[in-house]
Amino acid sequence: MNILFNIFRCTFTVITASALLISCSQDHPTSIDTASPQPSSEPAQVLSLARSDLPPYQMVMIFPSGNVPKDLPDVEQAINDYLLKKINATIEIRPIDWSVWQDKTNLMFTSNEQFDLMFTSSWYYLGQEVTKQQIIPLDKLLKEYGQGITSTLEPAYLESGRVKGSIYGVVTNKEFASTKGIVMRKDLVDKYHIDLSPIHSLEDFSTVLKTIKDNEPDLIPLQVKYDRSPLTVLLGYGEFDMLDTTGGPGVLRRDSDDLKVINMYETEEYAHYAKLMHEWFQAGYINKDGSITRQDEFEAVKAGKAFAYAESMKPGFDAQESRNTGYPMVTVELTKPYTTTGDTTSAMFAIPRTSKDPARAMMFLNLLYSDPYLLNLLDWGIEGKHYVKKSDTIIDYPPGETAKSIGYNLNLPWMFGNEFNSYIWASDDPKLWDKYRSFNQNAEISKALGFVFDPSGVKNEVIACNNVLLQYTGAINAGEFEPSQILPTFIKALHTAGADKIISEKQRQLDEWAASRNRPPTQMR
């Protein structure tokens, strides 16, 4: 199924998206060369856009989130006090639960409700939003009001937001690769003296799950959800290059030198991992509602109900998940870093057509790239209340506070602006941003980096195949059924829905894309 949805905890849904045409002529993405951030507790005097002729304006920014911090009103007030001085504007920060994002945003567009900035991504409705003319081109706005953005982002990354000739999404400056693995509660790993060093494959994890099952009967050893489990996380990018998230079946083998598009669901690897999930389900290692639950896995750990889950990872991920769950977490990576088109466009912001002042929205977005004070207000809240500074760039919780008790724990720095300007937590590696840069530079590069499938010619088949995926993959991901019984029916349904036609069209477009770059597949990394 749509594996890129696994990177950022998103709900799989049927999308009939148009193509994201990325202008990328390089074999490798340009590395980020951002100077080490020096954010200060004092408001930065960077690219101040306050003008005497700007009338007051109230903005609304929406983005998906698993929680609404109780102290959000306090942080919002602090941001607004600052924005009034900078651009004579205020902003309502409105997190929306991942599971209802599309329903709520579609309703907002239908009712023509005013909002000014919205999260988007190549894997999260960007193509659909462009096709429906729900968001506006940003080229002119970037030129006039986005100097902080254009001076921060490398051109190749800025261009990745280009759809049908115009830039519609501004990319967050962050890591542009990922690895896959398992996240576990460290206290239980230590308690039962679990040696993680021999774990190099998903199969190796079976003994760990058995230890938790035998000794913690009230705890779920492995938490999964209907669209994400070790099957989807490890198969996508561990074994295959998923190519896109909206175009139905059709992937590349990651270890192959050619560009042959295949149906992942017919491969031996898919059947193998599906069988492993079924064995784990029968052994009682997986939550019984895994095929239908939409709850983020870390929430179950946070509630003290689960031990581990599968995820996409990056440097410092164990510390990030420790803040998310409130427990010390430890990770085991099972794949090597990999960069795809989806990774370079995995977090973006767009300006919807309902904005009554797109220029002001761009001014605010620009500040998130150029103004460390504002960015850290949004990321971490108010100094002294939600964090204390250990140095100019290192922060920690105030005395007596933890990740569970703190009133502002949005914990989404990967979503906003220039993450390299974000403070680093004392529990993180102080050289985290240097490791991000190395991570980006050393990642294996997809042979199809820059290619995005245009499903418009097979949109009916894409819809039909996505409906089949919704019907079958939840149960397969969670291991509820014996694969030998369900896979033949599932694969037959995909063929009936038009999977072969989609794969043929994807192959045609991929071949044309490769030829246009004068790079034979065997010479691509």
Kindly state the DSSP code that residue 420 receives in the 8-state scheme: G
pLDDT mean across residues, the chain: 86
- Would the pLDDT of 333 be above 50? yes
Q: How far apart are CA 305 and CA 307, in angstroms?
A: 7
- Would the pLDDT of 21 be above 50? no
The per-residue pLDDT for 519 is 54
Query: In this predicted model, what pLDDT tens digit does every residue of 468-519 receive, in sequence order?
Result: 999 999 999 999 999 999 999 999 999 999 999 999 999 998 999 889 876 5
Query: In this predicted model, what pLDDT tens digit does every residue of 413-436 receive, in sequence order?
Result: 999 999 999 999 998 999 999 999
The per-residue pLDDT for 518 is 65
- Would the pLDDT of 245 be above 80? no
Predicted TM-score (pTM) of this structure: 0.72
Query: In this predicted model, what pLDDT tens digit does every residue of 373-384 receive, in sequence order?
Result: 999 999 999 999
Q: Which range has the top average pLDDT, 37-46, 91-100, 339-348?
A: 91-100
Q: How far apart are CA 31 and CA 313, in angstroms?
A: 19
Rg of the chain, C-alpha, whole Å: 23
The per-residue pLDDT for 19 is 32
- In single-letter form, the type of residue at position 248 comes to G
Cβ neighbors of 74 (< 8 A, separation 6 or more) are 381, 382, 385, 407, 408
Helices marked H in 444-524 — which ranges?
A: 459-478, 483-497, 499-516
Q: How far apart are CA 240 and CA 264, in angstroms?
A: 8
The per-residue pLDDT for 236 is 66
Question: Which residue, among 422, 404, 395, 427, has the nearest Cα to 319 in the 3D structure?
Answer: 427
Question: Which residue, among 416, 365, 15, has the nearest Cα to 167 in the 3D structure?
Answer: 365
Q: How confident is the model at residue 98 (pLDDT cuts 50, 70, 90)?
A: confident
| Cα torsion angle, 475, 477, 480, 482, sign | positive
DSSP string, 452-473: ---GGGGHHHHHHHHHHHHHHH
Query: In this predicted model, what pLDDT tens digit does every residue of 156-212 receive, in sequence order?
Result: 788 878 877 799 999 999 998 889 999 999 999 999 999 999 999 999 999 999 999
Q: How confident is the model at residue 36 (pLDDT cuts 50, 70, 90)?
A: very low
Q: How far apart are CA 119 and CA 63, in angstroms?
A: 5
Q: How confident is the model at residue 140 (pLDDT cuts 50, 70, 90)?
A: very high
Q: How confident is the model at residue 451 (pLDDT cuts 50, 70, 90)?
A: confident
Q: How confident is the model at residue 93 (pLDDT cuts 50, 70, 90)?
A: very high
Q: In the chain, where are the structural domains located? A: 41-175+343-445
- Would the pLDDT of 26 be above 90? no
**Domain 41-175+343-445, CATH among 1.10.8.60, 3.40.190.10, 3.40.50.300, 3.40.190.150:** 3.40.190.10
Cβ neighbors of 86 (< 8 A, separation 6 or more) are 48, 49, 50, 363, 367, 371, 374
The per-residue pLDDT for 237 is 59
The per-residue pLDDT for 290 is 95
| Cα torsion angle, 124, 148, 28, 422, sign | negative
